[in-house]
Amino acid sequence: MATISNEVRNYFKLDLLISRSCLTLRNLFLTRYSLFNNGQIWIDSAVHGNNYLTNVISKNKKINLMPPQKKTVGNGDTNEWDVSTLTAILLFSDRPQTLNTNETQKLDQEDSLIKQLKDLRNDLAHNSSKSIGNIEFNQLWNKLSTILVTFGDIDTELDKLKDDSVFESPEQTINEENKNEALRLNSLGTQAHKDGKYSKAIKFFIQATVLSSVSNHDRATFFSNMAASRVSLYKQNFYTVDNCEDGDITKELDRALKDAKQARKLWVTWWKAHFRVGQVYAILGYHDKAINSFERALALDPTKSETQKALDESRIIVHRNARQEYLDPRANWKTIPENLNELKEKFGLDPEMVRQNRSLLELIDPSAADVMK
């Protein structure tokens, strides 16, 4: 494993601090939801989420959310909403006219802090090197921690994130029997993936992830591998009629993204977890988000050529889209569904026949060795 520089450590410590703000922002949302809706209580459910998406988000042009964020809002689980989603909703939601002066002043003060938090988060996200010097780190840390403490966080708890121990494997009680069984299942899943039996591989990885008292780093590996198998299953079956058990193979990408994010959560300083998140975002077509993840992966381990290649490809797509240039159909900068659809529309080629051509599939995205033993 590559040695992580002090500057890169600084970046990820600040990133952990930003991530911690999600709990604070979530509590603010729940409080405001009740205040803005005559005392109604938000319930984390798809019913509440879809109603909020339809009646609030869709009608408010100031709340600018990406499709993945809208999908997360629609699911209704506020624990899954990221900082960008929460700050957008909090800052731009319409306030009822019935608020008194004290309530309005309190909201204004909160919004001022939320705006600062949002700007700091954006500056951090757009740091392409994912490295920050000590002087700047201390300045940013003080700003962020002050905001969180003002919202009620505990400064001594925040200080724990400043320690280098966050880059070490956490102390856990390990059940050796469960650990060995999980590793066995992971090995079976890895072999099934290599054999192209992706549904079978996913089942093995799921069994590995649910075993208790297994290290976070091992579980991160299982979730990462499962995400890889879901992506491969999606590519394999995209044009079949009976794609998967629930009849909608596109859901595999949503599941893959969730698995990849879980791997990242379990092992925040593992390059592969960030790389995996970027992979799924790139396939979904969200290359700005993919770039951010690939940059993180490269900062954590600059030796990985696959990360640099994926980063370069996403950057080229973003650059070309920004200039509204025509994409060369012979280039593989597009996602597999985009490439296959274009072949069908322009040349009348059957996507199913193209999909079955293994050499083309491997050219677009080789994945035979895309999981870890």
Single pTM value for the model? 0.80
- Cα–Cα distance for residue pair 342/346, rounded to 1 Å: 6
At 330-340, the pLDDT tens digits run 444 455 555 55
Question: 353: pLDDT confidence band, cut at 50, 70 and 90?
Answer: low
Q: How wide is the angle at C-alpha 91 spanned by C-alphas 85 and 97, nearest 5°? A: 130
pLDDT at 362: 45
Q: How wide is the angle at C-alpha 14 spanned by C-alphas 263 and 227, nearest 5°? A: 15
pLDDT at 169: 79
Measuring CA to CA, which residue among 8, 6, 12 is closest to residue 301? 8
Residue-range domains of the chain with CATH: 6-167 (no CATH), 176-364 (1.25.40.10)
At 137-165, the pLDDT tens digits run 999 999 999 999 999 999 999 988 898 88
- Cα–Cα distance for residue pair 121/126, rounded to 1 Å: 9
At 8-44, the pLDDT tens digits run 999 999 999 999 999 999 999 999 999 999 999 999 9
- Cα–Cα distance for residue pair 12/299, rounded to 1 Å: 10
Residues contacting residue 1 through CB under 8 Å, at least 6 positions apart: 301
pLDDT at 360: 46
**DSSP for 322-348, written as a single string:** HHTPPPPTTS--S-HHHHHHHHHHHH-
For residues 253-265, average pLDDT: 95
Q: How wide is the angle at C-alpha 315 spanned by C-alphas 118 and 337, nearest 5°? A: 105
pLDDT at 151: 94
- Check whether 298 has a pLDDT greater than 50: yes
For residues 185-193, average pLDDT: 97
* Angle between helices 216-237 and 251-266 in degrees, nearest 10: 160
- Cα–Cα distance for residue pair 29/49, rounded to 1 Å: 13
